[in-house]
Amino acid sequence: MNNKKIGVFDSGVGGLTVALEVLNKLPNEEVVYFGDTARNPYGVRTKEEITKFSRQIIKFLLTKDVKAVVIACNTATVAALDSVQKEFDIPIFGVVGPGAESAVNSTANKKVGIIATEATVRSKCYDKYIKNIDSEVQTFSMACPLLVSIAEECLYDSSISYEAVKYYTEDLVKENIDTLVLGCTHFPLHRKNIEKVLGEGVKIVDPAVRTVEILKNYLKENNLESGKKEKLNHEFYVSGKTEKFAKICNSVLGGEYTVDKIDIDKF
Amino acid sequence: MNNKKIGVFDSGVGGLTVALEVLNKLPNEEVVYFGDTARNPYGVRTKEEITKFSRQIIKFLLTKDVKAVVIACNTATVAALDSVQKEFDIPIFGVVGPGAESAVNSTANKKVGIIATEATVRSKCYDKYIKNIDSEVQTFSMACPLLVSIAEECLYDSSISYEAVKYYTEDLVKENIDTLVLGCTHFPLHRKNIEKVLGEGVKIVDPAVRTVEILKNYLKENNLESGKKEKLNHEFYVSGKTEKFAKICNSVLGGEYTVDKIDIDKF
């Protein structure tokens, strides 16, 4: 047993969809979340910058005495996971490998679509991971930058979101994909509209699901699971403004959480 | 007569709508355009940062031997116009004062709507300028960050743009405005959808129109107009990637322009 918390971080609000998966699947665990809202979007940053940011954030999370860290951001997973796993002495999990695994398990016709940020698409990380598992799977990617901005504006239930999802998935649908990977943690926020646009013929893969399964197994195998608590105390921190983040946080997680601002450059 | 060029700068592609107005109304003049695409959006920057950026850009434009500069960005006009007008020895024009003037001339019922970036709305610059001219005019503002992202993605003719315009102007329409100021130079790109959503009852004010009239008068009065040229040679520079900028540039201005990348930090 280990009652320490689980650190989760992202460039902004997107990783809240991963935090929600942790809350749902590991109901005894507490989360310390960091959203780097002052420095996002990470998509325009270099690998070196993102690695530096990730290092600072993990150092901050360690001051909160976490027992494991989930990089709940595809861009940061691609840029920094390997480096920080070597540098730090706690388990660190990324979302890309688990997402690729789920996609391969899901597809029947071996045609997988991936929607992500420009940086993730450019890195071809999902394509490489997927082909490593099954070289016969064909991948089709689409960068959807507006789905990030729309989510950050808390408009994922709007007709703006619906029209944007329709626009971005049009070419993927033409390729006859039967599986779509949500390769950016913001995108599960648009899930209702994604399902409405794509219909039942396309299975949606949210990499957070398999990521949290892997985390759960790890905690179990290493005797790190938390004991039952009377009241869970999740913590939320950002590097930028707290208001908009708090609004989306409470909407996604369903609760009234306090959000504190941190000077991340000190770490 | 003076055959030097006119410098125009913006945080990104938005100022191209101002450049277009210059090309249309001053058909003998040549433009040197700078888009600070590597450091935008300016909305999240401090007054000091934006003033520093504006200073660097004007220094760069001076290496191109311009005879006047237009700050084709509302955020930069608010943050930096006063400072740079004092520092540099060439005429520098902003877009906010002219836009406010046009709005007051346009409104009959003295109810003016303003759509802009968060930074411009927060500064209340249009409200102040408008009330300075006519204290009876009521102003109603709405920050529309997605209209910037949608324009940067070249999707201003799409149904995503239409839905976003509808969403952002809903409350302004309820206030019975008869005039809407496009308080961000990106927004004229959405003009077709803005007109479609608001109908004929609301007059649209593009501050670029009055800004370029003022520039034209200034050049005439000071004998700075260019003579007729066989072929105009406009120049386009950015601090970030050239491809997406070139695409929008050619779509807005209608032509095949070369875009060059500049290391703006050297200035």
Establish if B153 touches chain A: CB-CB under 8 angstroms: yes
> What residue numbers bound the domain in which A157 lies?
96-207
3-state secondary structure of A204: strand
> Of A94, A135, A130, nearest to A112 (Cα)?
A130
Question: For residue B170, what pLDDT is reported?
Answer: 96
Looking at the structure, tell me whether residues A203 and A214 fall in a common domain. no
Q: How far apart are CA A229 and CA B109, in angstroms?
A: 62
Relative orientation angle of helices B125-133 and B96-106, to the nearest 10 degrees: 50
CB contacts, 8 Å: B168 with chain A: none
Looking at the structure, tell me whether residues B20 and B87 fall in a common domain. yes
B37-B41-B46 Cα angle (round to 5)? 120
Looking at the structure, tell me whether residues A16 and A78 fall in a common domain. yes
Dihedral sign from CA coordinates of B72, B256, B216, B183: negative
> Of B24, B74, B76, B30, nearest to B50 (Cα)?
B76
Looking at the structure, tell me whether residues A160 and A108 fall in a common domain. yes
- Which residue in chain B is spatially nearest to A118 when comparing CA positions? B153
Nearest to B167 among A145, A158, A164 (CB): A158
Half-sphere exposure of A183 (CA within 13 A, CB side): 36
CA-to-CA dists, residue A15 to A98, A235, B38, angstroms: 15, 14, 25
CA-to-CA dists, residue A62 to A58, A229, B6, angstroms: 6, 22, 54
Q: Do B155 and A146 touch (CB under 8 A)?
A: yes
- Which residue in chain A is spatially nearest to B150 when comparing CA positions? A146
Q: Do B160 and A160 touch (CB under 8 A)?
A: yes
Looking at the structure, tell me whether residues A86 and A126 fall in a common domain. no
Looking at the structure, tell me whether residues A195 and A103 fall in a common domain. yes
- Which residue in chain A is spatially nearest to B164 when comparing CA positions? A160
Q: Which one of A146, A166, A169, A193 would you mutate to disrupt binding with B, by most B Cβ within 10 Å of its Cβ?
A: A146
Question: For residue B112, what pLDDT is reported?
Answer: 98
Give Cα B262 to chain centroid, integer Å. 21
Looking at the structure, tell me whether residues B136 and B193 fall in a common domain. yes
Answer with the one of A207, A231, A251 that is the final residue of a domain: A207
Beta carbons of A56 and A264 less than 8 angstroms apart: yes
Q: Which one of A162, A163, A239, A241 would you mutate to disrupt binding with B, by most B Cβ within 10 Å of its Cβ?
A: A163
Tens digits of pLDDT across chain A (267 residues): 899 999 999 999 999 999 999 999 999 999 999 999 888 878 767 889 899 999 999 999 999 999 999 999 999 999 999 999 999 999 999 999 999 999 999 999 999 999 998 889 999 999 999 999 999 999 999 999 999 989 988 899 999 999 999 999 999 999 999 999 999 999 999 999 999 999 999 999 999 999 999 999 999 999 999 988 888 999 999 998 898 899 999 999 998 999 999 999 999
Does the annotation mark A184 as catalytic? Answer: yes
CATH number of the domain that B185 lies in? 3.40.50.1860
The number of domains in chain A is 2
Question: For residue A241, what pLDDT is reported?
Answer: 85
Q: How far apart are CA A179 and CA A169, in angstroms?
A: 12
Does the annotation mark A73 as catalytic? Answer: yes
Establish if B243 touches chain A: CB-CB under 8 angstroms: no
Q: Do B153 and A167 touch (CB under 8 A)?
A: no
Tokens describing residue A183: 């390769």
Looking at the structure, tell me whether residues B130 and B261 fall in a common domain. no
Looking at the structure, tell me whether residues B118 and B64 fall in a common domain. no
Beta carbons of A184 and A148 less than 8 angstroms apart: yes
Establish if A160 touches chain B: CB-CB under 8 angstroms: yes
CB atoms near residue B124 (< 10 Å): 15
- Which residue in chain B is spatially nearest to A38 when comparing CA positions? B44
Question: For residue A244, what pLDDT is reported?
Answer: 87
Q: How far apart are CA A184 and CA A67, in angstroms?
A: 25
What region, left, alpha or beta, does residue A226 occupy, with left being phi > 0 and alpha being psi -120 to 50 degrees? beta
Looking at the structure, tell me whether residues B87 and B104 fall in a common domain. no
Residues of chain B with pLDDT under 50: none
Looking at the structure, tell me whether residues A35 and A46 fall in a common domain. yes
In sequence order, which ranges of chain A are alpha helices (DSSP H)? 16-25, 47-63, 74-87, 96-106, 118-123, 125-133, 145-152, 159-174, 191-198, 207-221, 243-253
Question: For residue A255, what pLDDT is reported?
Answer: 87
3-state secondary structure of A149: helix
Answer with the one of B192, B207, B222 that is the final residue of a domain: B207
Looking at the structure, tell me whether residues A118 and A188 fall in a common domain. yes
Answer with the one of B207, B235, B251 that is the final residue of a domain: B207
